[in-house]
Amino acid sequence: MTEVSVAKEDLVPTGELVVLKSVNKHFGALHVLQDIDLTIARGEVVVVIGPSGSGKSTLCRTINRLETVDSGSIAIDGKPLPQEGKELARLRADVGMVFQSFNLFAHKTVLENVVLGQIKVRKADRKKAEEKARTLLDRVGVSTQADKYPAQLSGGQQQRVAIARALAMDPKVMLFDEPTSALDPEMINEVLEVMQQLARDGMTMIVVTHEMGFARSAANRVVFMADGRIVEEAAPDQFFSNPRSDRAKDFLSKIL
Protein backbone atom coordinates (compact mmCIF):
# COMPACT_ATOMS: atom_id res chain seq x y z
CA MET A 1 0.00 0.00 0.00
CA THR A 2 1.36 3.42 -0.91
CA GLU A 3 1.55 5.99 1.78
CA VAL A 4 1.03 9.53 0.64
CA SER A 5 1.01 12.22 3.25
CA VAL A 6 -1.76 14.67 2.49
CA ALA A 7 -1.22 18.36 2.74
CA LYS A 8 -4.35 19.23 4.65
CA GLU A 9 -4.64 22.68 6.09
CA ASP A 10 -6.75 21.42 8.96
CA LEU A 11 -4.44 18.81 10.42
CA VAL A 12 -4.40 20.81 13.64
CA PRO A 13 -7.58 20.16 15.60
CA THR A 14 -9.44 23.44 15.78
CA GLY A 15 -12.68 22.81 17.51
CA GLU A 16 -16.00 21.34 16.65
CA LEU A 17 -16.65 20.02 13.16
CA VAL A 18 -19.91 18.09 13.52
CA VAL A 19 -22.46 19.15 16.10
CA LEU A 20 -25.80 17.38 16.65
CA LYS A 21 -28.14 18.91 19.18
CA SER A 22 -31.27 17.16 20.50
CA VAL A 23 -31.81 15.31 17.24
CA ASN A 24 -35.02 13.29 17.05
CA LYS A 25 -36.19 11.11 14.22
CA HIS A 26 -39.19 8.81 13.85
CA PHE A 27 -40.08 6.19 11.30
CA GLY A 28 -43.83 6.11 11.89
CA ALA A 29 -44.29 5.07 15.51
CA LEU A 30 -40.66 4.04 15.86
CA HIS A 31 -38.56 6.66 17.66
CA VAL A 32 -35.31 5.76 15.93
CA LEU A 33 -33.14 8.66 17.14
CA GLN A 34 -33.92 9.99 20.61
CA ASP A 35 -32.44 13.29 21.76
CA ILE A 36 -29.07 12.69 20.18
CA ASP A 37 -26.40 15.14 21.30
CA LEU A 38 -23.06 14.49 19.67
CA THR A 39 -20.09 16.75 19.03
CA ILE A 40 -17.16 15.63 16.95
CA ALA A 41 -13.95 17.60 16.94
CA ARG A 42 -11.86 18.25 13.87
CA GLY A 43 -9.50 15.34 13.38
CA GLU A 44 -11.38 13.12 15.79
CA VAL A 45 -12.18 9.48 14.98
CA VAL A 46 -15.41 8.29 16.56
CA VAL A 47 -16.47 4.67 16.35
CA VAL A 48 -20.20 4.05 16.75
CA ILE A 49 -21.22 0.60 17.95
CA GLY A 50 -24.41 -0.96 19.17
CA PRO A 51 -26.91 -3.71 18.49
CA SER A 52 -28.60 -4.08 15.13
CA GLY A 53 -31.55 -1.71 14.84
CA SER A 54 -30.19 0.77 17.41
CA GLY A 55 -30.13 3.64 14.90
CA LYS A 56 -26.48 3.74 13.81
CA SER A 57 -27.18 3.87 10.08
CA THR A 58 -29.96 6.39 10.55
CA LEU A 59 -27.57 8.55 12.54
CA CYS A 60 -25.06 8.48 9.65
CA ARG A 61 -27.78 9.19 7.12
CA THR A 62 -29.06 12.21 9.01
CA ILE A 63 -25.55 13.68 9.19
CA ASN A 64 -25.37 13.95 5.42
CA ARG A 65 -29.09 14.55 5.15
CA LEU A 66 -30.02 11.39 3.30
CA GLU A 67 -32.69 11.47 6.02
CA THR A 68 -34.48 14.49 7.43
CA VAL A 69 -34.78 14.97 11.18
CA ASP A 70 -38.01 15.70 13.04
CA SER A 71 -36.44 18.08 15.52
CA GLY A 72 -33.05 19.25 16.67
CA SER A 73 -30.16 20.58 14.62
CA ILE A 74 -27.09 19.34 12.79
CA ALA A 75 -24.22 21.63 11.89
CA ILE A 76 -21.12 20.84 9.85
CA ASP A 77 -18.17 23.16 10.40
CA GLY A 78 -20.39 25.78 11.98
CA LYS A 79 -23.02 25.73 9.23
CA PRO A 80 -26.47 24.36 10.05
CA LEU A 81 -27.64 21.74 7.57
CA PRO A 82 -30.62 23.16 5.71
CA GLN A 83 -33.55 20.86 4.90
CA GLU A 84 -33.21 21.31 1.13
CA GLY A 85 -31.94 23.46 -1.74
CA LYS A 86 -28.62 24.28 -3.39
CA GLU A 87 -26.90 25.04 -0.13
CA LEU A 88 -27.75 21.52 1.02
CA ALA A 89 -26.05 19.91 -2.00
CA ARG A 90 -22.91 21.95 -1.32
CA LEU A 91 -22.84 21.14 2.38
CA ARG A 92 -23.59 17.49 1.72
CA ALA A 93 -20.50 17.30 -0.46
CA ASP A 94 -18.50 18.16 2.67
CA VAL A 95 -19.54 14.82 4.12
CA GLY A 96 -18.05 11.77 2.42
CA MET A 97 -19.91 8.52 2.89
CA VAL A 98 -18.83 4.92 2.45
CA PHE A 99 -21.50 2.26 2.73
CA GLN A 100 -21.51 -1.45 3.40
CA SER A 101 -22.33 -2.11 -0.25
CA PHE A 102 -19.77 -0.34 -2.36
CA ASN A 103 -22.24 1.61 -4.52
CA LEU A 104 -19.80 2.19 -7.36
CA PHE A 105 -21.15 3.09 -10.80
CA ALA A 106 -21.06 -0.32 -12.48
CA HIS A 107 -20.82 0.98 -16.03
CA LYS A 108 -17.97 3.42 -15.37
CA THR A 109 -14.33 2.54 -14.99
CA VAL A 110 -12.65 2.79 -11.63
CA LEU A 111 -10.98 6.03 -12.73
CA GLU A 112 -14.29 7.51 -13.92
CA ASN A 113 -15.90 6.59 -10.62
CA VAL A 114 -13.39 8.81 -8.86
CA VAL A 115 -13.44 11.55 -11.53
CA LEU A 116 -17.18 12.10 -11.99
CA GLY A 117 -18.16 13.79 -8.74
CA GLN A 118 -15.21 16.14 -8.96
CA ILE A 119 -16.44 17.40 -12.35
CA LYS A 120 -20.17 17.42 -11.60
CA VAL A 121 -20.27 18.65 -8.03
CA ARG A 122 -16.93 20.36 -7.50
CA LYS A 123 -16.75 21.71 -11.10
CA ALA A 124 -13.14 20.58 -11.50
CA ASP A 125 -11.66 20.38 -14.99
CA ARG A 126 -11.15 16.89 -16.36
CA LYS A 127 -7.37 16.88 -16.44
CA LYS A 128 -7.07 17.96 -12.81
CA ALA A 129 -9.82 15.55 -11.79
CA GLU A 130 -8.01 12.64 -13.45
CA GLU A 131 -4.70 13.55 -11.84
CA LYS A 132 -6.33 13.71 -8.45
CA ALA A 133 -8.18 10.44 -9.06
CA ARG A 134 -4.90 8.68 -9.90
CA THR A 135 -3.24 10.08 -6.79
CA LEU A 136 -6.12 8.88 -4.63
CA LEU A 137 -6.26 5.45 -6.27
CA ASP A 138 -2.57 5.14 -5.55
CA ARG A 139 -3.14 6.20 -1.97
CA VAL A 140 -5.69 3.41 -1.42
CA GLY A 141 -3.49 0.90 -3.25
CA VAL A 142 -5.50 0.25 -6.42
CA SER A 143 -3.73 2.43 -9.01
CA THR A 144 -3.20 -0.54 -11.32
CA GLN A 145 -6.97 -1.10 -11.51
CA ALA A 146 -7.85 2.36 -12.85
CA ASP A 147 -9.11 1.24 -16.27
CA LYS A 148 -11.11 -1.76 -15.07
CA TYR A 149 -14.81 -1.88 -14.24
CA PRO A 150 -15.96 -2.40 -10.64
CA ALA A 151 -17.13 -5.97 -11.25
CA GLN A 152 -13.57 -6.91 -12.26
CA LEU A 153 -12.28 -5.96 -8.80
CA SER A 154 -12.43 -7.83 -5.50
CA GLY A 155 -14.77 -6.55 -2.81
CA GLY A 156 -11.85 -5.11 -0.86
CA GLN A 157 -10.57 -3.29 -3.93
CA GLN A 158 -14.05 -1.95 -4.70
CA GLN A 159 -14.44 -0.63 -1.20
CA ARG A 160 -11.06 1.09 -1.44
CA VAL A 161 -12.21 2.71 -4.70
CA ALA A 162 -15.35 3.86 -2.87
CA ILE A 163 -13.12 5.47 -0.25
CA ALA A 164 -11.05 7.18 -2.97
CA ARG A 165 -14.23 8.40 -4.63
CA ALA A 166 -15.46 9.93 -1.38
CA LEU A 167 -12.07 11.52 -0.71
CA ALA A 168 -12.04 13.07 -4.19
CA MET A 169 -14.71 15.50 -3.01
CA ASP A 170 -12.38 16.88 -0.32
CA PRO A 171 -14.86 16.08 2.44
CA LYS A 172 -14.44 17.67 5.83
CA VAL A 173 -15.67 14.52 7.52
CA MET A 174 -15.93 10.91 6.37
CA LEU A 175 -18.77 8.62 7.46
CA PHE A 176 -18.29 4.87 7.22
CA ASP A 177 -21.32 2.66 7.76
CA GLU A 178 -20.10 -0.89 8.34
CA PRO A 179 -17.59 -0.61 5.50
CA THR A 180 -16.20 -4.11 5.96
CA SER A 181 -19.38 -6.04 6.78
CA ALA A 182 -19.97 -7.23 3.22
CA LEU A 183 -16.37 -8.30 2.66
CA ASP A 184 -14.81 -11.71 2.70
CA PRO A 185 -12.68 -12.01 5.84
CA GLU A 186 -9.36 -11.88 4.03
CA MET A 187 -10.24 -8.49 2.55
CA ILE A 188 -11.26 -6.74 5.72
CA ASN A 189 -7.78 -5.72 6.77
CA GLU A 190 -6.83 -4.05 3.50
CA VAL A 191 -9.82 -1.73 3.91
CA LEU A 192 -9.20 -1.13 7.62
CA GLU A 193 -5.57 -0.27 6.85
CA VAL A 194 -6.65 2.45 4.42
CA MET A 195 -9.00 3.79 7.10
CA GLN A 196 -6.23 3.66 9.71
CA GLN A 197 -3.98 5.67 7.44
CA LEU A 198 -6.74 8.19 6.83
CA ALA A 199 -7.17 8.56 10.58
CA ARG A 200 -3.43 9.09 11.02
CA ASP A 201 -3.52 11.73 8.27
CA GLY A 202 -5.96 13.70 10.41
CA MET A 203 -9.29 13.02 8.72
CA THR A 204 -12.35 13.50 10.90
CA MET A 205 -14.17 10.18 10.82
CA ILE A 206 -17.37 8.64 12.09
CA VAL A 207 -17.17 4.88 11.72
CA VAL A 208 -19.94 2.39 12.39
CA THR A 209 -18.20 -0.94 12.69
CA HIS A 210 -18.06 -4.24 14.54
CA GLU A 211 -14.28 -4.33 14.10
CA MET A 212 -13.24 -3.82 17.69
CA GLY A 213 -9.54 -4.00 16.81
CA PHE A 214 -10.03 -0.95 14.62
CA ALA A 215 -11.96 0.80 17.38
CA ARG A 216 -9.19 0.12 19.87
CA SER A 217 -6.37 1.27 17.63
CA ALA A 218 -7.89 4.12 15.63
CA ALA A 219 -10.73 5.63 17.64
CA ASN A 220 -10.43 8.57 19.97
CA ARG A 221 -13.87 7.79 21.30
CA VAL A 222 -16.44 5.01 21.22
CA VAL A 223 -20.11 5.94 21.11
CA PHE A 224 -22.41 3.12 22.16
CA MET A 225 -26.02 3.27 20.91
CA ALA A 226 -29.03 1.23 21.92
CA ASP A 227 -32.71 1.79 21.10
CA GLY A 228 -32.08 5.11 19.37
CA ARG A 229 -30.10 6.63 22.20
CA ILE A 230 -26.47 7.26 22.94
CA VAL A 231 -26.17 5.18 26.06
CA GLU A 232 -22.48 5.56 26.72
CA GLU A 233 -19.41 7.36 25.34
CA ALA A 234 -15.84 6.74 26.38
CA ALA A 235 -12.26 6.34 25.23
CA PRO A 236 -11.88 2.87 23.66
CA ASP A 237 -9.67 1.43 26.42
CA GLN A 238 -12.07 2.57 29.07
CA PHE A 239 -15.15 1.42 27.16
CA PHE A 240 -13.87 -2.07 26.40
CA SER A 241 -12.28 -2.75 29.77
CA ASN A 242 -14.87 -1.07 31.94
CA PRO A 243 -18.24 -0.45 30.27
CA ARG A 244 -20.58 1.36 32.67
CA SER A 245 -24.05 0.53 31.39
CA ASP A 246 -25.72 -2.86 31.51
CA ARG A 247 -26.62 -2.50 27.83
CA ALA A 248 -22.99 -2.05 26.87
CA LYS A 249 -21.84 -4.90 29.12
CA ASP A 250 -24.42 -7.16 27.58
CA PHE A 251 -23.50 -6.14 24.03
CA LEU A 252 -19.77 -6.59 24.60
CA SER A 253 -20.28 -9.99 26.18
CA LYS A 254 -21.92 -11.11 22.93
CA ILE A 255 -19.34 -9.79 20.50
CA LEU A 256 -15.99 -10.09 22.28
Binding at 52: pick from Mg ion, ligand ADP, none (beta carbon under 5-8 Å per type): ligand ADP
Shortest distance (Å) from residue 189 CB to Mg ion: 21
Is 209 near ligand ADP (CB under 6 A)? no
- Among residue numbers 51 through 80, which ones bind ligand ADP (CB under 6 A)? 52-58
Residue in 4, 8, 27, 213 binding ligand ADP, rule: CB under 6 A: 27
Residue nearest Mg ion, Cβ-based? 57
Interface with Mg ion (CB under 5 A), residue from 20, 36, 44, 57? 57
Q: Is 118 in the site for Mg ion (CB under 5 A)?
A: no
- Choose the contact partner of 30 out of Mg ion, ligand ADP, none; CB within 5 to 8 A by kind: ligand ADP
Nearer to ligand ADP, 56 or 221 (CB): 56
Half-sphere exposure of 75 (CA within 13 A, CB side): 14
Total residues binding Mg ion (CB under 5 A): 2
Burial class of residue 185, CB neighbours in 10 A (0-12, 13-18, 19+): exposed
Q: Which stretch binds ligand ADP (CB under 6 A): 39-47, 49-57, 130-138, 179-187?
A: 49-57
Instruction: For Mg ion, give the closer residue by CB, 57 or 109.
Output: 57
62 near Mg ion (CB under 5 A) = no
Tell me if 150 contacts ligand ADP by CB under 6 A.
no
- Per the CB < 8 A criterion, the answer to whether 64 and 175 are in contact is yes
Q: Considering only 56-64, 82-90, 109-117, 221-229, which stretch makes contact with Mg ion by CB under 5 A?
A: 56-64
- Nearest C-alpha neighbor of 234 from the set 113, 148, 129, 252: 252
- Name the amino acid, one letter, at 44: E
Nearer to ligand ADP, 57 or 197 (CB): 57
Residues in contact with ligand ADP by CB under 6 A are 27, 30, 32, 50, 52-58
Which residues are near Mg ion by CB under 5 A? 56-57
